[in-house]
Structure 1
Amino acid sequence: MTQSKESSANDKPLPPSVPLIISIDVGTTSSRVIAFNQQGSEVAKHQIEYSTSASEQKYTPAGKRRHSEQLDAGVSETAPASAVTSAPPTANGNGTSGATDSTDAPTKGDSPPIFSSVGFRIRESAVLTIEDIAKNQTVGPTLTFPKPGWVSCNPTSILFNVLECLGETLAMLDEKNNARDAAKQGPYEISCIGVANMRETTIVWSRSTGLPVVDYGIVWNDTRNAALLTEMEKNTDPELQKKLHKKTGLPLFSTYFSCSKLRWLLENEPKVKEAYDKDDLMFGTVDAWLIYHLTAQNAFVTDVTNASRTGFMNLDTLQYDDELLDYWKIDKTKVLLPRIVSSAEYYGDFAVPTFCRKILTEQVVHSLQEFSKKKIPINGCLGDQSASLVGQMAYKKGAAKCTYGTGCFLLYNTGTQKLLSRHGTLTTLGFWFPSLEDDFDMNKPHFALEGSVAVAGSVVQWLRDNLRLVAKAEDVGPLASTVTDSGGVVFVPAFSGLFAPYWDPACRATIMGISQFTTASHIARAAVEGVCFQARAILKAMSSDAYRGNQLENGDDDKDDAEDIDLLELSNNSQSHEKSVFSTLSVDGGMSRSDEVMQIQSDILGPCIKVRRSPIVESTALGAAIAANMAFKTEAERPLWANLKDCKSWIYFDGESNETVIEKSGRTNLKVFKSSSTDENRRKHWKLWETAVARSSGWLTAVDGESVPPK
């Protein structure tokens, strides 16, 4: 802990400051900034849910506290709507911004003011004019859905959201420090910043201006590149496909990854092609975009966990691969690619982007500028699912985690072994903390197998908003638990196809087995089970891959395909112990907060695996904080935790080395779920699920007139 300065009034030392780490966590539907303490508790937090092109939400970005302060200052709540152009509705619904004051009121002959997507008036600066900003459309929703299957994000809006969240979090800490000072307690002090972000989302911007070349980025779950990939697959030799897959660990023709999104932009956006031809193009994922704009040095970097999802990085070298770039027709002399770095090292010092200083409110800008004077390092970065792996303390080989967010993401830590899946999962980077001491190879890059479910929490939203089965998302678990099973109903929630291990983009959502016996409770349960069955399918694939990986590591290099054993169905016999590769699934995310849903998941997995819910709700953000902490070279320098073992001890057990303190430490979220299902019922329901998937597969291909072979 750092010591505060001595008091000049009485020459007595003030209490020591309390170190905190800030996490910036940019998700698919929201951004948040959280200040964590040594116990992994949230000391301060601010979150913004994204506005969307389909949203009717009325939103005041700064919250009620600031809104009240502005009203006290005389800001009118009834300014005429005609005074603004393209302003999103705020709390009063008339498009006025809480950032306005009497000097901002438009006068006769003035152009209408422009507002950003988070509700702040945009003003000219020394760098940008209003016309520049308007041209790049910082106005409008953060997420848009231009066509079926298309999902776009506004990069500048995401940046403003992050700055807003950070400014509000700092203001909250200032208030807490005032109270702590009055109570003769040491102040909270920010030590460093970590970043977690949605992966694969592709952004292109200009070297000369730092602004997006087009007014959107392509989000990870966007499918506009499907036709391009279909054409490339037809023209790619199977042997080359295998070679490139081995380099990246990714399916070559999935719409998921950044490589084909960048190719689509170059082929379909003239402005992007023009910038490319003029050597003015920069490409990056959300982490690179944020770190570039939030560091005084304009550091242009991406960490290995994000780079491994672009389709451009070689897993063996951890660098861009010329053959991969050539395959996607990317000339690295014409587009600037971020430097690939580790997950925990110094990237640069926080600074407020110049063009944002005149956009945000004066209060937020003041907080951010005062903060930037402290030269707080940004030195941790992880893709969101890798951040969750770290935040779940799944550090060691054999640990597995599942995050139930908009989608559902499972990672299985394979340690320093790069294991290519034969069963439909991906190979990705888990983390790389090079400053750690060489204890269990924790300072080396750690790999993971990953499986993704496209629809998880979003199926709950669908039940709530589209079918109106429940009033609140948290009601789905209790509704599903009013029945003992789904009554023969199977829900395959493939709204945009099935991801791992099926990889069927032509599959579409289906509900089968409905009868007059079916109730809303059966449909709700079938929807929840549809997510849990996909998680089971991924774990089944991972278990076979991991078992084979263990055989190879022990010298049993069989040349045939790996034995496709279902380790999840092994009973307590002699084989079970020998073949088991993991026994605990750590879970976090929205759906994991429901005891009912997690019990359903445990029943579907069976007795070989227990489901353990993380004590920390925001595991992804916590992972970024851990990465930032581990960037410091020595244990003495690290502000919160000396090493990963120390980190787990504090976050799980309040610094103790055993679990006896869990109850008194208030870790109410930490809970273990064990299966209560019978083998007969579990296998029967699994067979129903596999039958439903087979009959849902290839739907789009079939309706387009092509025959689909039965599965």
Structure 2
Amino acid sequence: MATKRFTAAIDQGTTSTRFFIFDDKGEPVAKHQEEFKQLYPHAGWIEHDPSVLVASARSCIDQATAKFLELGHKPEDIAAIGITNQRETSIVWDSRTGKALHNAIVWCDSRTTHHVRHFKTKTGADTILQRTGLPLSTYPSAVKVKWILDHCKPARDAYDEGHLAFGTVDSWLLYNLAVGPDGEKLHVTDVTNASRTQLMNIDTLEFDASLLSFFELDKLLLPRLAPSADDSAYGAIADGPLKGVRVTGCLGDQSAALVGQKAFKEGMAKNTYGTGCFMLYNTGNKPVISTNGLLTTIAFQWKDQKPVYALEGSIAVAGSAVKFLRDNLGIIKEAHEIGPLAAKVPDSGGVVFVTAFGGLFAPYWIDDAQGTIFGITHYTTREHICRATVEATCFQTKAIIDAMEKDSGIKLQTLAVDGGMSNSDECMQLQADIIGINVDRPAIRETTALGAAIAAGFGAAVWHSFDDLKGVNARNHRSFTTKTTQEQQDRRFNRWEKAVEMSKGWLTTEDIDREYD
């Protein structure tokens, strides 16, 4: 590039919102982050206030831009903005007023268990996985919206009158923060986010009327679908210090992390350790429907190009288990303590923590499990519990890798990592020891935001090919090599699998109906 150009990204996550401005090497030159309140109305429920999501995004843009300007740059130096967001989280609003009619139901919320049971008995249930890439579970957006219709009268009234708009968080942010060329409101999403709703056909990349009918959502107003990198679909920022800057990229957070890791080739994979933990494996231009408990999703799509698909393994609880030790049990005072504490003991002392706070996701898909700790004795210390908490994520990662190898027929050689827990050397060494393959960590671990910025850069023609990204996020990678034998790996993993089996069936049908109805 003749001149240095910047790209930016709104990264709206489960516990915080961030705004980053990156240079042409993928280095963040300005950023701001704000945490926001988590709402837990009942056991297994988690909600966000939609207005807070918008307000935090605006504040982060303002604060990060102020820092950018203090460095001597100008707003017009930012070529484009990308958006990345927590997926599946569902928001509905009245299309006439723009007012949200219910709190956002967050992706890991499990209140819809009984709705899932209902849909599993319907004619056509056996075709849902093949058509959407997702199993019937509490995870996708469709069942969350159905729950809102059944329990929120204002939403039901707007739906019956044909005015209920639905969107994932990206749609809601774009609706509130951006405008089209004539100043109009936008109701739009990209294909990666749409692939998490269970309302889009994974082959046609279009919302499917038969899926809407199956989930009893025929009258729902859906966003317009667009590629992940597009020069015109997402409008421009409506007001504030970056008014007029185009939004040219949009990706669900895990797809964004795959792009940020530059895993553009078939057979490459990444694992992101956030509130949950998500592994994506690039399968190329054709969807691979898993027979081993994984999800099929859209990895990314640039304008006028074929979509790239991925197999995904989703772990509901990762960083949130660390938060649980800190906030609920008081075992640690700060999240970063967990790695050094886990490393103080040579093993977990026989403790296994199945972190099924709302059931288990991939590859198990067990709705009736709850968090369970096995193996506590007089010998157990907080260090053992810390280690078992980290190992829970690492063991589930191994289960996903094994499933991916069965589905793809290819053995993964290296696992690229990012996200909060990847900052800990101790945790990443444990991961390498449990999976038996090398773990690769880049110096820039804000790969989710970087991926959104890369998408925006392609949408705004900052970059034209993947070769243009050779210098982006390329420095100071660190590799963690396994220090365990195959026999040790197998013995530890077998004990984990035994604990998973023992955690099943904790919730009965009556329990589920009583807790989530």
Q: Which TM-score tier does this pair reach, normalised by the shorter chain?
A: over 0.9
Give yes or no for the alignment of 1:244 onto 2:124: no
Instruction: Say if 2:46 and 2:106, in contact at 8 Å, map to a contact too.
Output: yes
Q: Percent identity?
A: 46
Give yes or no for the alignment of 1:481 onto 2:367: no
Instruction: Say if 1:36 and 1:625, in contact at 8 Å, map to a contact too.
Output: yes
Give yes or no for the alignment of 1:581 onto 2:411: yes
Give yes or no for the alignment of 1:154 onto 2:49: yes
Give yes or no for the alignment of 1:407 onto 2:276: yes
Query: Amino acid of the residue matched to residue 242 of structure 2?
Result: F
Instruction: Say if 1:400 and 1:411, in contact at 8 Å, map to a contact too.
Output: yes
Structure 1 residues 227 and 315, CA gap change in structure 2 (3 angstroms): same
Question: Any idea what SS the aligned residue of 1:40 has?
Answer: coil
2:140 to 250, 257, 266: 257
Give the alignment of 1:165-564 within 5 angstroms. Answer: 165-177=60-72, 189-214=77-102, 216-233=103-120, 235-237=121-123, 240-252=124-136, 254-297=137-180, 298-331=185-218, 334-345=219-230, 346-352=232-238, 368=240, 370-372=241-243, 375-434=244-303, 443-547=305-409
Mapped to 1, the partners of 2:417 and 2:510 lie a distance apart of 38
Q: Partner residue of 1:693?
A: 500
Question: Any idea what SS the aligned residue of 1:429 has?
Answer: strand
Mapped to 2, the partners of 1:255 and 1:422 lie a distance apart of 19
Mapped to 2, the partners of 1:217 and 1:528 lie a distance apart of 29
Deviation at 1:376, TM superposition (A): 1.5
Q: Partner residue of 1:46?
A: 32
Deviation at 1:462, TM superposition (A): 1.8
Structure 1 residues 704 and 189, CA gap change in structure 2 (3 angstroms): closer
Query: Amino acid of the residue matched to residue 430 of structure 2?
Result: I
Question: Any idea what SS the aligned residue of 1:244 has?
Answer: helix
Mapped to 2, the partners of 1:319 and 1:682 lie a distance apart of 43
Question: Any idea what SS the aligned residue of 1:305 has?
Answer: helix
Give yes or no for the alignment of 1:619 onto 2:447: yes
Structure 1 residues 468 and 325, CA gap change in structure 2 (3 angstroms): same
Deviation at 1:581, TM superposition (A): 3.3
Q: Partner residue of 1:554?
A: none
Mapped to 2, the partners of 1:425 and 1:337 lie a distance apart of 26
Deviation at 1:690, TM superposition (A): 0.9
Deviation at 1:467, TM superposition (A): 2.8
For residues 43-93 of structure 1, give each alpha carbon's deviation from its aligned partner in whole angstroms, at most 9, with x where no partner exists: 11111100x2xxxxxxxxxxxxxxxxxxxxxxxxxxxxxxxxxxxxxxxxx
Q: Partner residue of 2:458?
A: 630
Deviation at 1:336, TM superposition (A): 1.6
Deviation at 1:280, TM superposition (A): 1.6
Instruction: Say if 1:304 and 1:431, in contact at 8 Å, map to a contact too.
Output: yes
Q: Partner residue of 1:650?
A: 471
Mapped to 1, the partners of 2:457 and 2:512 lie a distance apart of 56
Mapped to 1, the partners of 2:327 and 2:147 lie a distance apart of 32
Mapped to 2, the partners of 1:457 and 1:504 lie a distance apart of 20
Question: Any idea what SS the aligned residue of 1:650 has?
Answer: coil
Deviation at 1:371, TM superposition (A): 2.8
Q: What are the ranges of 5 or more consecutive residues in structure 1 without an aligned counterpart?
A: 3-15, 53-142, 181-185, 354-367, 436-442, 548-579, 633-637, 654-661, 707-711
Mapped to 2, the partners of 1:674 and 1:610 lie a distance apart of 5
Query: Amino acid of the residue matched to residue 603 of structure 1?
Result: D
Mapped to 2, the partners of 1:188 and 1:704 lie a distance apart of 56
Query: Amino acid of the residue matched to residue 458 of structure 2?
Result: M
Instruction: Say if 1:481 and 1:596, in contact at 8 Å, map to a contact too.
Output: yes
Mapped to 2, the partners of 1:519 and 1:169 lie a distance apart of 42
Structure having greater relative contact order (Cα 8 Å, sep ≥ 6): 2
Structure 1 residues 480 and 702, CA gap change in structure 2 (3 angstroms): farther
1:593 to 416, 420, 423: 423
Question: Any idea what SS the aligned residue of 1:535 has?
Answer: helix
For residues 81-114 of structure 1, give each alpha carbon's deviation from its aligned partner in whole angstroms, at most 9, with x where no partner exists: xxxxxxxxxxxxxxxxxxxxxxxxxxxxxxxxxx
Q: Partner residue of 1:61?
A: none
Query: Amino acid of the residue matched to residue 317 of structure 1?
Result: T
For residues 241-260 of structure 1, give each alpha carbon's deviation from its aligned partner in whole angstroms, at most 9, with x where no partner exists: 222221001112x1111111
Count of matched residue pairs = 508
Instruction: Say if 1:19 and 1:190, in contact at 8 Å, map to a contact too.
Output: yes
Deviation at 1:590, TM superposition (A): 0.6
Give the alignment of 1:86-101 within 5 angstroms. Answer: none
Mapped to 2, the partners of 1:526 and 1:650 lie a distance apart of 38
What TM-score do you get using the length of structure 2 for normalisation?
0.94
Instruction: Say if 1:19 and 1:188, in contact at 8 Å, map to a contact too.
Output: no
Mapped to 2, the partners of 1:542 and 1:371 lie a distance apart of 42
Structure 1 residues 187 and 350, CA gap change in structure 2 (3 angstroms): closer
For residues 193-222 of structure 1, give each alpha carbon's deviation from its aligned partner in whole angstroms, at most 9, with x where no partner exists: 1000001111111221112123x1111111
Mapped to 2, the partners of 1:677 and 1:703 lie a distance apart of 44
Question: Any idea what SS the aligned residue of 2:353 has?
Answer: strand
Structure 1 residues 703 and 283, CA gap change in structure 2 (3 angstroms): closer
Query: Amino acid of the residue matched to residue 17 of structure 2?
Result: S
Instruction: Say if 1:173 and 1:188, in contact at 8 Å, map to a contact too.
Output: no
Query: Amino acid of the residue matched to residue 40 of structure 1?
Result: G
Mean Cα displacement is larger for which, 343-352 or 279-288?
343-352
Query: Amino acid of the residue matched to residue 397 of structure 1?
Result: E
Mapped to 2, the partners of 1:539 and 1:352 lie a distance apart of 43
Mapped to 1, the partners of 2:109 and 2:385 lie a distance apart of 27
For residues 32-53 of structure 1, give each alpha carbon's deviation from its aligned partner in whole angstroms, at most 9, with x where no partner exists: 0000001111111111100x2x
Deviation at 1:646, TM superposition (A): 2.1
Mean Cα displacement is larger for which, 269-278 or 514-523?
514-523
What TM-score do you get using the length of structure 1 for normalisation?
0.69
Q: Partner residue of 1:32?
A: 18
Deviation at 1:702, TM superposition (A): 8.7
**Between Structure 1 and Structure 2, whose CA radius of gyration is higher?**
1
Structure 1 residues 371 and 463, CA gap change in structure 2 (3 angstroms): closer
Deviation at 1:324, TM superposition (A): 0.6
For residues 329-375 of structure 1, give each alpha carbon's deviation from its aligned partner in whole angstroms, at most 9, with x where no partner exists: 122xx33210111100022442436xxxxxxxxxxxxxx1x531xx2
Mapped to 2, the partners of 1:513 and 1:671 lie a distance apart of 34
Q: Partner residue of 1:360?
A: none
Structure 1 residues 702 and 258, CA gap change in structure 2 (3 angstroms): closer
Deviation at 1:157, TM superposition (A): 1.3
For residues 462-521 of structure 1, give each alpha carbon's deviation from its aligned partner in whole angstroms, at most 9, with x where no partner exists: 222333222221111111111111122211111111111111111111111222222222
Structure 1 residues 351 and 40, CA gap change in structure 2 (3 angstroms): closer
Q: Which 4+ residue blocks in structure 1 deviate beyond 3 angstroms? A: 702-706
Mapped to 2, the partners of 1:513 and 1:321 lie a distance apart of 48
Mapped to 2, the partners of 1:473 and 1:672 lie a distance apart of 23
Q: Partner residue of 1:439?
A: none
Mapped to 1, the partners of 2:395 and 2:293 lie a distance apart of 15
Mapped to 1, the partners of 2:172 and 2:250 lie a distance apart of 12
Deviation at 1:266, TM superposition (A): 1.3
